[in-house]
Amino acid sequence: MKEITKKDLLLLVLGLAVYAVVQSLISIEVIGPFWTLNIVLICINIILASSLNLINGFTGQFSIGHAGFMAVGAYAGAILTVKLQLPFLLAIIVGALVAGVLGFLIGLPTLRLSGDYLAIATLGLGEIIRITILNIPYVGGASGFMGIDRFTDFTWAFFLMLFTLFFIKNFINSTHGRACISIRENEIAAEAMGVNTTKYKVLAFTLGASFAGMAGVLFAHYFYIIHPTSFTFMKSFDYLTMVVLGGLGSLTGSITGAVLLTFISAALADYPEWRMVIYSLMLIALMLYRPQGLFGSKELSFKMFHLKGRERRDIA
């Protein structure tokens, strides 16, 4: 991984400033509980969207079972804090690890598949995970896992989000990340150039899964209760929509996608029946008129404004 550059520090300072402003607005109650909830949700969604983007956008493996890994993390974390009374930080680490190990075990065989087949296999895996959880009475089965303490607050969600973004950003700029991108561009050519495609596909998948697991722990400890129906493939589609809206292969795109869609669904909270209709129309319209998403595979940066109109294809 690359050493931390001046630009990273600048972004870190920017992040801290955003945190300070939002946190003080929350403490003086300018931002009410409804929007606080949505801001925390935005942070969790950014983690999920950017980690899914690592698999779908940067490595080019079409996975649509992200909610399954989130569920694994959520349940593992909840078992740790509720049943075993262990600290929250440990729950986060274990949740991420368990989801990551599962991602590795699942990724190893399934990533031999490509394109449509991989999509349907990951979708199926997500469902298998959910149905398995549904059948475990220890974690509440169909009635859900109750009595989880609210450990997640804005601070946790925000700093874990920052951590995820920095990690993924540095990962894709590293040798490993470049290898992942080369697989997206042309798997056969990458293989011919000596890239161990299986290794990198599994690596990206495992990392993506563990971040999803971490987000799951945050999710579980914010909403008191988790339920197998919270992790259906509709949820995976939500994250897919965020990634696609922002642009496959753009981290800032994922952030924008997560923020926009969380806001839209918050704004439509009174009309839940319209939410999915608008989501779906947006997806279709987006694919018809701007299939690369809002940002394509570019990042939003100051450079982007300087070099207007010129095709700069570098990432970050």
Partner 1 sequence: MDFSSFAQQFGQQLINGLSLGSIYALIALGYTMVYGIIRLINFAHGDIYMVGAYIAFFATTSLNLSFFPALILSMAGAAVLGMVIERAAYRPLRSAPKTAVLITAIGVSLLLEYGGMLIVSPQPKTFPPLIQTQVYHIGELVVNSQQIVILTVSLALMVLLTYVVQHTMIGKAMRAVSYDTDAARLMGIDVDKVISFTFAVGSGLAAAAGVLVGVYYNSIDPLMGMMPGLKAFVAAVLGGIGLIPGAMFGGILIGVIEAMVSGFISSTFRDAAAFAILIIILLFKPSGLLGKNVREKV
Least distance CB 154 / partner 1 (angstroms): 31
Closest contact distance (angstroms) between CB of 109 and partner 1 is 5
Stretch binding partner 1 (CB under 8 A), from 17-25, 26-34, 153-161, 283-291: 283-291
Tokens found for residue 159: 């700093």
Of residues 214-253, those binding partner 1 (CB under 8 A): 237, 240, 244, 248
Task: Report if residue 284 touches partner 1, rule: CB under 8 A.
Answer: yes
Site string for partner 1, 44-73 (x = CB under 8 A): ------------------x-x---------
Chain-centre distance for alpha carbon 187: 24
Asked if residue 51 lies in contact with residue 242, where contact means CB atoms within 8 angstroms, the answer is no
- Candidates 14, 291, 303, 304: give the one binding partner 1 (CB under 8 A): 291
> Cα–Cα distance between 169 and 68 in angstroms, integer?
24
Q: Which of 123, 251, 255, 261 binds partner 1 (CB under 8 A)?
A: 123
Asked if 148 and 82 touch (Cβ cutoff 8 Å), the reply is: yes
Asked whether position 89 contacts partner 1 by CB under 8 A, the answer is: no
The DSSP result for 273-305, as a single string, is: HHHHHHHHHHHHHHHHH-TTTTTTT----HHHH
Options 3-11, 91-99, 113-121, 157-165: segment touching partner 1 (CB under 8 A)? 113-121
Cα separations in angstroms, 53 against 10, 27, 88: 24, 33, 27
Q: Is 97 exposed, middle or buried (0-12, 13-18, 19+ CB in 10 A)?
A: middle
Does 131 participate in binding partner 1 (rule CB under 8 A)? yes
- Structure token pair of residue 44: 């969790």
Which residue, 87 or 109, has its beta carbon nearer to partner 1? 109
144 near partner 1 (CB under 8 A): no
Q: How many residues does the chain have?
A: 316
**Contact call for residue 193 and partner 1 (CB under 8 A):** no
Query: Hey, what are 235's tokens?
Result: 């949820």
In single-letter form, the type of residue at position 244 comes to: V
3-state secondary structure of 172: helix
Amino acid 243 reads: V
226 bridge partner residues: 145
3-state secondary structure 6-45: HHHHHHHHHHHHHHHHHHHHHHCCCCCHHHHHHHHHHHHH
Q: Which CB sits closer to partner 1, 113 or 195?
A: 113
Residue 282 main-chain phi, psi, to 5 deg = -65, -45
Token pair for residue 25? 């607005």
Task: Candidates 109, 143, 193, 312: give the one binding partner 1 (CB under 8 A).
Answer: 109
Measured from the CB atom, the residue of 236 and 256 that comes closer to partner 1 is 236
Which is closer to partner 1, CB of 101 or CB of 282? 282
Site for partner 1 in 152-191 (CB under 8 A): 188
Scanning 8-16, 72-80, 104-112, 250-258 for contacts with partner 1 by CB under 8 A, the matching segment is 104-112
Nearer to partner 1, 11 or 120 (CB): 120
Kindly tell me which of 5 and 132 has the beta carbon lying closer to partner 1: 132
* Residues engaged in binding partner 1 (CB under 8 A): 62, 64, 109-110, 112-113, 115-117, 119-121, 123-125, 127-128, 131-132, 134-135, 188, 237, 240, 244, 248, 273-277, 279-284, 287-288, 291
